[in-house]
Each structure stands twice: as C-alpha cells, then as structure tokens.
Amino acid sequence: MDERSAFSDDATGMESDIHALSPERVRDVLEALDRQDGGEVRNLIAPLHTEDLAELINGLSPDERERLIEAIKFNFDDEVLPFLDPETADAVMEQLGTRRSAQAIAEMELDDALHILEDLDTEDQQEILKTIDPATRKELEAGLSYPEESAGRLMRRSMVFVPEFWTVGDAIDYLRRHPKLPEDFYVLYVINPQFRPVGILPLSTLMRHPRSARITDLMQKDLHCFTTTTDQEEVAYVFRKYGLVEAPVLGEEGRLVGTITVDDAVEVMREELEEDFLRSSGLTGQDLSRTVLASVKTRFPWLFVNVLTAMMAAAVIDLFDETIEHLVVLAVLMPIIASMGGNAGIQASTVTVRAIAMRRVDVRGAWRSVWKEVLIGGLNGLGIAAITGTGIYMIYGNPQIAMVFALAMILVMVMAGLAGAGLPMLMRRLGIDPAITSGVFLTMLTDIVGFLSFLGLATLLVVR
C-alpha cells in the first residue's frame, strides 16, 4: 500500500514529489550512515522539505539520529526543530550545543520557540534563555508565563492590524510599505483606539473591493476570540467547528495581543485526539518516539495498577473456590463473561469519551447518555445471553448452568453500559480527563460484577 503513489500518478503525467520522504530515500540514508559517508548523507537530505527531514529524524533510533546530526551539523536547518518530537528536539539541541540552539530559538516564531522551550527542563531552559538577547528573552519569558496548553502558548505576536477608519486602499498601501509583515497571514484585524478588535477582514474580501471601500463596511463583526488562558483543546474545537483560518487572542482589558493560525490549531487537534486515543490504554503521545527503556518506564505503572485491579477481581473468584471445586465448568465459562463485559464496557466508554469531546453530551445531557448505553448493553446482553445460553445447554446438557450463565451475561452487559458511560461522565464532572477511565477501572468493575454474578448465582442456584 504505497500511500505516496498519489503524488506520482503516471496517467496524469505528473512528476513525483522529489522533496518527499520515499522509502527508497530512507533506505539510502540509512545505508550512507552505515558507510559513514557524510557527503552522501548531505546529498540525500538536501532536497527534502523541512517537514520531511523532521519526519526522518523523528523515526530514527537515537544512535542513527546522532550520526545523522553529526553528518549534517554544519548545514543543519534550524527550521526543522519545531517539527521534531519534544524528546528528539531536546537530544538534537544538546548535540548542536547551547549557543547554536539559543540562536535557533531566538530566530523562530514565538509559538515555535515556546513549543520547544516548554519541554526542556528548567536548567536547560534557563541556560538557553541566558544566551538570548534581552528583548527576545523578555518576550519568551512572557510567553512561558501563560499556562501550558493555553492559547497564550500557541499564539504568534506578529499580526496585521488596521484602524477602523481606513479604506481598502489605505490597507493595501500599508501592506506594501510595511517591511516586517508575518510570513503567512490570512486576515487583517480591525482595531479600535483601545486596541480591541472590532472586526476581522479576510484578505479575499479585501482583494475583491475597490480602493475606496471602507473597511468597517466590509469587515466581519462576528468574531471568535480567545483569551491568553483559553485551553488549547477549546482553541482546536472552535477552529474545527467554525472552519476558521486565523483567530485573535485577547489579553488584559480585551486588547489584541496575538493571533493563532489554523496550522497550529490543526496540530493541537491531532495531539488532543491522539492523546484521548492513547490515554485510554495508559499511554502518552511520547510513546511513539521513546526508546525501549523509556517506554517500559512509562507503561509499567499503568500495568502495575492493572495487576492490582486484576487481583481484586481474582479475590472475588477466591470467595467461590469451593463452588468451582464442585463444578469446574464454571472456571471454564467465567472468562467468557468477563471478556464480554470488558469489551462491551470499552465500546460504551469509547463512544462516551468521543461524545464528550464532540460536546454531544452538552445537548443530550449526562443522564440520557448513560441511560442510552445501559439500554444498549441490556439489549445486546439479552441477545448474546440467548445464543450462548442455548449453546451451553446443548454442550453441557445442564439447564441450570445455562440459565445462570445467561443471567450473569445480561447483568455484566448492563453493568458495562452503566460503568462504560457513567465513569467518563463522573470524571468529566470532577474535571478529570474522561479518556483515562476506559481502561483499568472499567474492566475491574465489569470483571468483578461478572465473576460475582456468575459464581454467586451458580453457588445459590446450582451447587446447593
């Protein structure tokens, strides 16, 4: 499945994208590194897009990465740094040296610089800040003073703003004369004398009107504003929902202090969705780039918690050891109940976590969302119970065991719906990320209910 073939569709006579990272190029780079052929490495890397070079570096092992950076050290393009994984960027900057790294950071856009600085430990951060000129340092320190994952960290300070009383012609003349415009911008902010934004003018609107048109007549007055402390998840949500390309960030007294562009919002969106996805099994985004030992270290605590919860479920089984001794078939069948409860619960919690993230729950209400999952669990439980109960009756010829199994199946599936939807709702109410509940605690609950109801009912109805 060569995903890149879209770029090199022969039927259309297109050239393939020579700046992209093809599997062949990766192989060639790795071979050149093995041969310690620095010149060839540089040749292979020279035509790559910044983003593709970053993708290559992110994918290398620490050892390969070190040799690659060694080979391209003197031609290293600093613009690659913002695209590297935090841990990778850290390692690369260490290899480049403090002076060189500080210089690179000083020349970046504010948001890129903050993105790198915030992941360094305080000591490295201070050492780099120390080397940077006072004006830039002050700006960086101001940026770092905003909460992590806030709009203040995402925004750029360079933006284009114009006063209300200008015309289209005034704005165009200003843009042509202004020496230091941001590299990419999509809107002009229209501000009042208090420096508050009163409107937003997309460039495409500016372009299609005569020089004499008044900006206040053309601007959109309906603004989606953030403050410096707005959570980045909210930023990404608003950008996606309203299809924004650029939006203002307001500081004290509603004054315009920065702008967020869609590329940064998109990156946050990916991070946040990926975080939900990974977090439900006790992982973090960094797990993608970590070394074996770092991954072992981050995953171990979660697995350890899981051992403890599994032991609690085992303790429930232990209560019924005499029952099992009399009727070993219970030990054979009980994992089926536990497995179904776990899976149905994860379905319910996955849907609920997404519904919360998509703000569906805001309209539907928490209780109705939970009730819906309980109903789904119960109905699916009835179906599964009917089929498996019949099957077990046919295999073992014991109607009592079949009946107990079916009952326990229904109970555990109802519990799966209740806990699967209820736990994330509870977490949300408590202000904790709902995604973390999908895993350990949920299966502990379904396991305990499953074992308790199956073995308990069997003890009451079959064995005695």
Cβ of residue 322: shortest distance to a second copy, in angstroms? Answer: 8
Interface residue with a second copy among 46, 181, 386, 461 (CB under 8 A) is 181
Supply the minimum distance, in Å, between the C-beta of residue 460 and a second copy: 19
Query: Taking CB under 8 A as the criterion, which residues in 361-390 touch a second copy?
Result: 362-364, 368, 372, 375-376, 379-380, 383-384, 387-388
Q: Which of 260, 269, 423, 457 binds a second copy (CB under 8 A)?
A: 269
Q: How many residues bind a second copy (CB under 8 A)?
A: 146
Hey, which residues between 235 and 264 contact a second copy (CB under 8 A)? 237, 239-245, 250-254, 262-263
Q: Does 310 bind a second copy (CB under 8 A)?
A: yes
CB of 443 to a second copy, least distance (A): 7
Under rule CB under 8 A, residue 158 binds a second copy: no
Site string for a second copy, 314-333 (x = CB under 8 A): x--xx--x--xx--xxxxxx
| Phi (first) and psi of residue 228, to 5 degrees | -60, -20
Q: Binding residue for a second copy (CB under 8 A) from 91, 142, 198, 273?
A: 273
State the virtual CA torsion across 21, 24, 26, 30 in degrees, nearest 10: -160
Binding positions for a second copy, 83-142, rule CB under 8 A = none
Do 265 and 235 touch, CB atoms closer than 8 A? yes
Closest among 356, 334, 273, 358 to 456, alpha carbons compared = 334
Is 332 or 460 the residue whose CB approaches a second copy more closely?
332
Does residue 440 bind a second copy (CB under 8 A)? yes
CB-based burial, 397-427: b 16+ in 10 Å, e otherwise? eeeebbbbbbbbbbbbbbbbbbbbbbbbbeb
For residue 229, state whether it binds a second copy (rule: CB under 8 A).
yes
**Which pairs with CB-CB distance under 8 Å and at least 24 residues apart come from 426-435?**
428/356, 428/361, 428/366, 429/366, 433/276, 433/279, 434/352, 434/353, 434/356, 435/275, 435/276, 435/277, 435/279, 435/280, 435/353
**CB-based contacts of 33, cutoff 8 Å, min separation 6:** 41, 64, 67, 68, 71
- Closest to 146 measured CA to CA, from 251, 3, 6, 1: 251
Stretch that binds a second copy, among 33-41, 88-96, 135-143, 183-191 (CB under 8 A): 183-191
Q: Is residue 222 near a second copy by the rule CB under 8 A?
A: yes
Q: Name the minimum Å distance from CB 37 to a second copy.
A: 19
Q: Does 185 sit near a second copy (CB under 8 A)?
A: yes
Closest distance of CB 36 from a second copy, Å: 20
The residue from 98, 202, 398, 426 that contacts a second copy (CB under 8 A) is 202
Contact between 184 and a second copy (CB under 8 A)?
Answer: yes
> Which residues neighbour 305 within 8 Å (Cβ) at sequence distance 6 or greater?
282, 440
Chain residues 347-366 in contact with a second copy, contact rule CB under 8 A: 347, 350-351, 354-355, 358-360, 362-364
Site residues (CB under 8 A) for a second copy, limited to 39-58: 49, 51, 55-56, 58
**147 contacts a second copy (rule: CB under 8 A):** no
* Nearest CB to a second copy, comparing residues 144 and 329: 329
Q: Kindly indicate which of the ranges 17-25, 38-46, 71-79, 132-140 contains the residues binding a second copy, using the contact rule CB under 8 A.
A: 17-25
Rule CB under 8 A: choose which of 95, 103, 125, 343 binds a second copy.
343
At position 58, the amino acid (one-letter code) is N
Handedness of CA 418, 419, 421, 425 (dihedral sign): positive
Round to whole Å and give the CA distance between 370 and 101: 51
Which residue in 133, 204, 212, 394 binds a second copy (CB under 8 A)? Answer: 204
